[in-house]
Structure 1
Amino acid sequence: MYQQAYLNGLEIMEMIGSWDTDLMPSEGDQVGLIIGLVSGSIVLLRIFVSAAIFVCKYRKPKRTSSHSKLTELTTHGSAVPNFHLGLKIPLAEIHFATNNFDGKLLIGKGGFGNVYRGTLRDGTKVAAKQGKPGSGQGFSEFQTEITVLSQIRHRHLVSLIGYCAEQSEMILVYEFMEKGSLRDHLYNSDFPTLPWKQRLEICIGAAQGLDYLHRGAAGGIIHRDIKSTNVLLDENYVAKVADFGLSKSGPLDRSQTHVSTAVKGTFGYLDPEYFKTQKLTKKSDVYSFGVVLLEVLCARPAIDPSLPRDWANLAEWGITCIQNGAIEQIVDPFLVGQINPNSLRKYGEVAEKCLQEEDEERPSMGDVLWDLEYAFQLQQTAVKREMYDYSVTGGSSILTLSNEEAPII
Structure 2
Amino acid sequence: MAPFPCLPFFTTTKSKTTSNCIPIEQFCHRFSLAELQAATNGFKPSLIVSEEGQCQVYKGHLKGHGDVAIKHFKTRSPAYDIEFRVEVKILCQLHHPNIVPLVGFCEHKNDKFVVYDYVSNGSLYDCLHGTNNNGGVPLSWIQRLNICIGVARGLHYIYFETKIPIMHRAVKSSNVLLDHNLVPKVADFGLCKKHPQEESRPKPPRVELRENLEVSLEYLEPEYFMTARLSDKSDVYSFGVVMLEILCRKKACFLTPSGDCEYLVKWAFDDERKGVFEKIVDPSLIGKIAPACWEVFIEIVQRCLASVEERPTMGEVTMVLENAFLLQREQMCEGV
Which residue pairs with 1:392 in the alignment? none
Larger displacement relative to structure 2 (290-299 or 147-156): 147-156
Which deviations, in whole Å up to 9, do the C-alpha atoms of 1:185-241 show, x marking residues without a partner? 212434222111001001100110000011034541100000001110111111110
Q: Which residue of 2 aligns with 1:226?
A: 171
Query: CA 1:137/1:196 → structure 2, altered by over 3 Å: closer, same or farther?
Result: farther
Paired residue for 2:310? Answer: 361
2:302 is aligned, of 339, 346, 352, to: 352
Deviation of 1:367 after TM superposition, in Å, equals 0.4
SS in 1 for 2:53: coil
**C-alpha distance in 2 between matches for 1:165 and 1:135:** 14
5 Å matches for 1:288-327? 288-306=238-256, 312-320=262-270, 324-327=274-277
1:373 aligns with 2:322: yes
Relative to the length of structure 1, the TM-score reads 0.71
2:35 counterpart residue number:
93
Shift of 1:345: 1.5
Single out whichever of 275-284 and 88-97 deviates more from structure 2.
Answer: 275-284
Q: Residue 145 of structure 1: which of 79, 87, 93 is its match?
A: 87
Are 1:175 and 2:107 counterparts? no
Q: Which moved more, 1:108-117 or 1:314-323?
A: 314-323
Amino acid at match of 2:319: W
Name the residue aligned to 1:268: 218
Question: Alpha-carbon deviation of 1:253?
Answer: 2.5
Aligned residue runs from structure 1 range 267-286, under 5 A: 267-286=217-236
Look up the match of 1:119: 61
Deviation at 1:269, TM superposition (A): 0.2
| Deviation for aligned residue 1:137 | 5.8
How far 1:309 sits from its partner (Å)? 9.5
Structure with greater proportional helix content: 1
Is the 2:54–2:75 contact (alpha carbons within 8 Å) kept by the matching residues of 1?
no
Matched-pair contact (CA < 8 Å) for 2:273–2:279: no
1:198-213 to 2 correspondence within 5 Å?
Answer: 198-213=143-158
State the one-letter code of the partner of 2:205.
Answer: H
Q: Which residue does 1:84 correspond to in 2?
A: 26
Conserved? CA contact 2:133–2:139, under 8 Å:
no
Q: Structure 1 stretches of 5 or more lacking a match?
A: 1-72, 74-78, 388-409
The superposition leaves residues 259-306 of structure 1 with CA deviations (integer Å, 9 ceiling, x where unpaired) of 321264311001222332133211100000000000000011111143
**Which structure is larger by alpha-carbon Rg, 1 or 2?**
1
Q: Do the aligned partners of 1:111 and 1:135 also contact (CA within 8 Å) in 2?
A: no
Size of the aligned set, in residue pairs, is: 310
What stretches of structure 2 of length at least 5 have no aligned partner? Answer: 1-17
In the TM superposition, residue 320 of structure 1 has moved relative to its aligned partner by 3.2
Offset of residue 307 of structure 1: 5.2
Pick 1 or 2: higher relative contact order, CA cutoff 8 A, min separation 6. Answer: 2
1:5 alignment partner in structure 2: none
Report runs of 4+ in structure 1 exceeding 6 Å deviation: 308-311
Other-structure match for 1:131 = 73
Greater strand content: 2
* Counterpart contact for 1:218–1:250, Cα < 8 Å: no
3-state SS of 1:129 partner: strand
